[in-house]
Amino acid sequence: MDLALTYSVLAKDIYEQNNYRHDLVSIYKDIAMVYTCKRMDDSSGYYWNKHEALADSLYNSEQAEKTMEYEAKFQTEKEGKQIAEKDLELSKRNILIRSLCSMIVLVILGWLLYNNRVKAKQQAEKLYQKELQSKAIIEAEVLTEVLKAIYSGCLLGKIICH
């Protein structure tokens, strides 16, 4: 038993110097058991208390670490979800903007086509009116010439005839 206690105390010193906390829990328990067997209740109680305190401390540290990990994962997922929601909102907004721009372009094209068609009809109407005027002028000139010829012929005929 004394040999076990000696090696355990040496191991305890090495573990404490190197801060091997997980190994210290076992060593404290081993030393406490040796002292319990030797019926050294004060030393046994001391090492049982150290064992329990360190085991609780390690458990609490592990739980705190796990809690922090879960919190970090939760925050990461939450941020990922927020980013996805913002991306979806931006996509919807972009689709709406593109749709509105397309509608505006279509309305402008429609208006331009309508305007061109109206202008073409107006130009065709102007040409038709000019053509009618030209025909009327030509007909008037021809009629004037015919009348002149007839009138001249009558005058000539009168002069010749008389």
pLDDT at residue 146 in the model: 81
In a domain, 67, yes or no: yes
In a domain, 43, yes or no: yes
pLDDT at residue 158 in the model: 63
In a domain, 132, yes or no: no
In a domain, 138, yes or no: no
In a domain, 95, yes or no: no
**Smallest Cα–Cα separation from 44: which of 32, 56, 54?**
32
pTM: 0.48
Burial 130-154 (b: 16+ CB within 10 A, else e): eeeeeeeeeeeeeeeeeeeeeeeee
In a domain, 72, yes or no: yes
pLDDT at residue 19 in the model: 85
**Smallest Cα–Cα separation from 26: which of 50, 60, 59?**
50
pLDDT at residue 9 in the model: 85
| Full pLDDT tens readout for the chain, 162 residues | 688 888 888 888 888 899 888 898 999 898 899 899 989 989 999 999 999 999 999 999 999 999 999 999 999 999 999 999 999 999 999 999 999 999 999 999 999 999 999 999 999 999 999 999 998 899 888 888 888 877 777 665 565 555
Structure tokens at 35: 């002292």
Per the structure, the complete domain to which residue 72 belongs is given by 2-80
Q: How many domains does one find in the chain?
A: 1
In a domain, 126, yes or no: no
In a domain, 96, yes or no: no
